[in-house]
Structure 1
Amino acid sequence: MSGDGPYGPVVNGTQIVFFEYLPNKPAAISFVVLFGIVTLAHLIFLFILRAWFFIPFILGGICEIFGYFGRAQAHDTPDKAGPFILQNVLLLAGTPFLAATIYMSLRRVATALDSQHLSFISLRWLTKLYVLIDIACIVSQFIGAIIPASGEPDAIAKGRTILIAGLVVQLGALSVFILTSLYLYIRIRQETGPFLDSSLVRWRRYFRTIEAVTIIMIIRSIVRAVEYLQGQGGFIFMAFN
């Protein structure tokens, strides 16, 4: 955090507050570079391995890149609506795309191990349901992020409510998903067979990666939900922005 706020345009003698602080440009650029490298690497492997189901992950990475680009721009023009909307919308919309890839990855690992029948929820329907939930989260977060740009107090409150609702739904979906993944992992460990027992097939690593990424997303959703619940005067907002 840097600079003295608040920042935002003045309309009819009233200031519309976009930022209570001046966004940190070096930090934003650093994230643009990091997400750019990771997204490019995954894009290359997507074509090499023909892993087309990873397309949502690429889209999520692009959202993060341009979201932080908007945040970097907001440092130079904190009173402009464009950078504010860009960073608000894309930084929130990126996560559902990333999550959709994780959902599809679990089904593919289970299919490769011929273990879909061990899940207490049909992975086929679970993937479709979660993709629909992700779409709903993207729409709700898009609406919730763009409404406050009007500067109206009612619009700001309504936008925050919509954003929090989308984050809570996403948090619930991720929580159920990680329980499903853990249950399936335990059930597969109880199975025997030359494929599962082979030291050359590192299927446990895939499950651990899926669960680790899901936990990170759960933590992120909790932090963002608490941030919006507390508002711009809250601890999380003041400490990390």
Structure 2
Amino acid sequence: MSYETCTHITLECPVSATTYGYYPNLGGNAFFTAFFGVMGVAQVGLGVYYRTWTFMVALGIGALMEMAGYIGRILMHSNPWNEGAFKLQIVCLVLAPTFVAAGVYLTLKHIVLNLGPEHSKLNPRLFTWIFISCDIGSLILQAAGGGVAAAAGNTNQALLRAGDDIIIAGIAFQVLTIRMRLIIIAEIFAYFTVLIRCIYRIPEMAGGWGSALMQKENEFLVLDGMMIALATLAYSLFHPGLFVPSMRTGYKNKN
């Protein structure tokens, strides 16, 4: 039976035939929407206060994209066949963690600069260029995959699978890039939460759209949403602008 014309839940278009196979939990997704909204505002406020502009852009975009993604899931709670909401959440929740990871890379560079470049075999000034370049490559792959998946909607399985494969390649590349940062100390918590999210996403996407793992919302909320939430919370409670002064614009001019 074809579900290409499905736009709402009916006897002919059951929730079990949707990609996720469930009504997204309203409470859980509303919590993450509000949480990431607060984190986004916090990161913008802290970024302005400490003048950590690049970090502010990375974490601010990451948190606010997460918020937008969970808004999409709230809309899907009312109508799991809502194609616009499906596209919104899949694109935002695939791409947002890449910006959080960019904050990890940027902070690492300045941690080494403050502790002393002699502690690193790699010139810390190259960290941003090397790791952000890798991140951009990952972002392009994931964006391409998300775009293909969004274009496929809920019904074009061949196109969904193609988008799925591209996203897996992008996330796998991101995992390999993140594993190079074993010297992180102050960031270790955020590092592992982002890493856990990436590792979870690989088998989830590898199983294909509508796979058994993809249709388990609790695992998604804990291993994706909660992991990125904890990373953004860590950066809000222990903002690099306070602990790593070199990240502040104009800091060197004061000495």
Name structure 1 gaps, 5 residues minimum: 1-6, 183-206
| Counterpart contact for 2:22–2:215, Cα < 8 Å | no
Larger Rg: 1
| Counterpart contact for 2:18–2:80, Cα < 8 Å | no
TM-score for both structures, normalised by structure 2: 0.73
Deviation of 1:52 after TM superposition, in Å, equals 1.0
Alignment root-mean-square deviation, CA: 2.4
Matched residue SS, 1:167: helix
Superposition map of 1:49-128 within 5 A: 49-54=50-55, 55-113=57-115, 115-128=116-129
Distance verdict in 2 for CA 1:234–1:79, change over 3 Å: closer
**2:188 counterpart (208, 211, 214):** 211
Superposition map of 1:1-241 within 5 A: 9-10=5-6, 17-54=18-55, 55-113=57-115, 115-149=116-150, 150=152, 151-177=155-181, 179=182, 181-182=183-184, 207-208=185-186, 210-231=187-208, 232-235=210-213, 237-238=215-216, 240=219
1:167-214 CA-partner distances (Å, limit 9, x unpaired): 10010011012x2x25xxxxxxxxxxxxxxxxxxxxxxxx23x11111
Matched residue SS, 2:22: coil
Deviation of 1:73 after TM superposition, in Å, equals 0.8
1:138-171 CA-partner distances (Å, limit 9, x unpaired): 2221221232342322211111110110110010
Which fold has the larger relative contact order, with Cα–Cα distance below 8 Å and residues 6 or more apart in sequence?
2
Name structure 2 gaps, 5 residues minimum: 221-255
1:112-159 CA-partner distances (Å, limit 9, x unpaired): 23x123212222223212112222222221221232342322211111
CA distance in 1, matches of 2:36, 2:157: 34
Residue 197 of structure 1: aligned partner:
none
Residue 234 of structure 2: aligned partner:
none
CA distance in 2, matches of 1:18, 1:233: 8
| Counterpart contact for 2:113–2:124, Cα < 8 Å | no
CA distance in 2, matches of 1:123, 1:8: 52
| Counterpart contact for 1:9–1:17, Cα < 8 Å | no
CA distance in 2, matches of 1:76, 1:38: 26
Bigger shift: residues 14-23 or 41-50: 14-23
Aligned length: 206
CA distance in 2, matches of 1:119, 1:212: 20
CA distance in 1, matches of 2:127, 2:117: 11
Aligned identity (percent) is 25
Bigger shift: residues 122-131 or 154-163: 122-131
Matched residue SS, 1:94: helix
Distance verdict in 2 for CA 1:124–1:85, change over 3 Å: same
TM-score for both structures, normalised by structure 1: 0.77
